Amino acid sequence: TLFYDELTTEVIADGKHLSADLLQLALKIKGPDRLALVTDCSRALDMPDECTYLIGPQDGGESFVKRDGVGMLPDGTALASSVVGMDHMVRTFQALTGRPLWEVVRMASLTPARIAGRDRDLGSIERDKCADVVLLDRRLDVQRVFIEGEEVQRIG
């Protein structure tokens, strides 16, 4: 998808799937309007390392091991999934590329909303849009979560 200007590219910026160089290359080629931060996070989110988890249905899913901050096939030969949320993707992409925070947040919010055809309702703070907001602290850790303007989670 990097080759075609009209296509959007999705990157998993967990620091495991793609190197800093590849993230910077993808951004240089696509720009913040065509590069979306995504996560293929599994059930291992916030769970301990060196344990086995399932991808897919509870009955019949594929097993993987969470190791060193990423999901791996049990034999360790390949990545199986990311094991971190979008807040981690934002922190990691910003740290690895040095891009301005507003640009990175756009790639995690408005760009994916546009791809999904939902940018009239989601992806930025504007009048008549859903008031879904995540407040981050200076370290880019989640502090508060609002859905449709109602606080649903407060950390700390």
- pLDDT, tens digit (0-9, with 9 covering 90-100), for 71-87: 999 999 999 999 999 99
Give the Å distances, CA to CA, from 37 to 64, 108, 111, 112: 23, 5, 8, 8
Q: Average of pLDDT values for 130-140?
A: 92
Distance CA 147, CA 113 (A): 16
Q: Which pTM was predicted?
A: 0.90
Check pLDDT > 80 for residue 110: yes
Distance CA 57, CA 61 (A): 5
Amino acid sitting at position 89: M
Residues catalogued as catalytic: 40
Q: Average of pLDDT values for 137-156?
A: 88
- Which pLDDT does position 68 carry in this prediction? 92
Check pLDDT > 80 for residue 154: no
